[in-house]
């Protein structure tokens, strides 16, 4: 599994995320300009990667041109399952990585297994639930009547409804034939647009 981490001065989030998944490749996304503190963080992550037997690559991306940054990072989301760590680094780089991940999932079917960020107020890495993004993509592909029913928090009856329920269960969006909380919240949001 590939771990993509946004890296600034602090590297502890890289280790925290890497310890949660069977990572054999670490990609560090950093700002284009070199800073001695970032170089030190890369060195520390290099030691960690060697210890777990993972390869390490550094990708430098522009932080002031969002779409160029997305273009640089997008290829990293394809070819194998990915874990995305947004826990550090320049905020604009984290935003670019999240946009790239979202587009890779939506347009290219990328396997982004998990996304993490840093909750600075409590000092720990927390997961970001991607199920609503997957649900939105599924909703767009539904027949109009099925979409209306799903937006009301109900799945259509019959074979089509059962097939849809199986697909949504695969993403953890349906439990016991009912929409799970993230999917229900998204359905309510989509009713407003």
Residues of the domain holding 93: 2-128
Query: 98, 128, 158 — which closes off a domain?
Result: 128
Residue of 101, 131, 119, 122 lying closest to 29 (CA atoms): 101
* Residue 101 shares a structural domain with residue 123: yes
- Render the burial of 107-124: b for 16+ CB within 10 Å, e for the rest: eeebebebbbbbeeeeee
Pairing mode, strands 112-119 and 25-31: unpaired
Please say if the pLDDT value at position 185 is more than 90.
Answer: no
* Residue 117 shares a structural domain with residue 96: yes
Radius of gyration of the chain (CA): 19
* Residue 12 shares a structural domain with residue 80: yes
* Residue 36 shares a structural domain with residue 108: yes
* Residue 37 shares a structural domain with residue 116: yes
- Beta carbons within 8 Å of 151's beta carbon, 6+ residues apart: 139, 187, 190, 191
Query: 128, 151, 169 — which closes off a domain?
Result: 128
What tens digit of pLDDT does each residue of 17-61 get? 999 999 999 999 999 888 999 999 999 999 999 999 999 999 999
| pLDDT at residue 152 in the model | 65
Angstrom distances, CA of residue 162 to CA of 44, 152, 169, 170, 190? 50, 17, 10, 12, 22
The overall pTM is greater than 0.85: no
CA atoms within 13 A on the CB side of 131: 20
Angstrom distances, CA of residue 164 to CA of 35, 52, 137, 177, 191? 50, 40, 13, 10, 20
Q: In total, how many domains does the chain have?
A: 2
| pLDDT at residue 151 in the model | 63
Please say if the pLDDT value at position 159 is more than 90.
Answer: no
* Residue 14 shares a structural domain with residue 97: yes
* Residue 9 shares a structural domain with residue 79: yes
Residue of 146, 79, 144 lying closest to 111 (CA atoms): 79
pLDDT mean across residues, the chain = 86
| pLDDT at residue 145 in the model | 72
Question: Which one has a higher pLDDT value, 31 or 140?
Answer: 31
Contact 25, 1 (CB under 8 A): yes
* Residue 92 shares a structural domain with residue 157: no
* Residue 109 shares a structural domain with residue 146: no
| pLDDT at residue 190 in the model | 65
Residue of 78, 95, 130 lying closest to 138 (CA atoms): 130
Question: Which one has a higher pLDDT value, 110 or 148?
Answer: 110
* Residue 173 shares a structural domain with residue 94: no
């Amino acid at each position: 599994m590939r771990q993509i981490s946004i890296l600034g001065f602090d590297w502890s989030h890289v280790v925290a995320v890497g310890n949660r998944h069977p990572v054999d490749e670490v990609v560090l996304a950093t700002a284009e300009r070199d800073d001695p503190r970032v170089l030190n963080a890369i060195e520390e992550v290099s030691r960690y990667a060697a210890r777990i037997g993972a390869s390490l690559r550094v990708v430098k991306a522009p932080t002031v041109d969002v779409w160029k940054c997305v273009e640089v990072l997008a290829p990293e989301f394809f070819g194998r399952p990915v874990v995305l760590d947004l826990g550090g680094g320049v905020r604009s780089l984290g935003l670019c990585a999240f946009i790239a991940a979202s587009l890779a999932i939506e347009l290219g079917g990328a396997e982004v297994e998990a996304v993490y960020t840093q909750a600075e107020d409590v000092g720990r890495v927390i997961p970001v639930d991607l199920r609503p993004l997957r649900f939105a993509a599924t909703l767009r592909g539904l027949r109009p009547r099925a979409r209306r029913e799903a937006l009301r928090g109900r799945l259509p009856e019959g074979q089509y409804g059962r097939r849809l329920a199986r697909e949504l269960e695969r993403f953890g969006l349906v439990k016991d034939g009912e929409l799970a909380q993230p999917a229900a919240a998204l359905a309510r949001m989509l009713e407003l647009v």
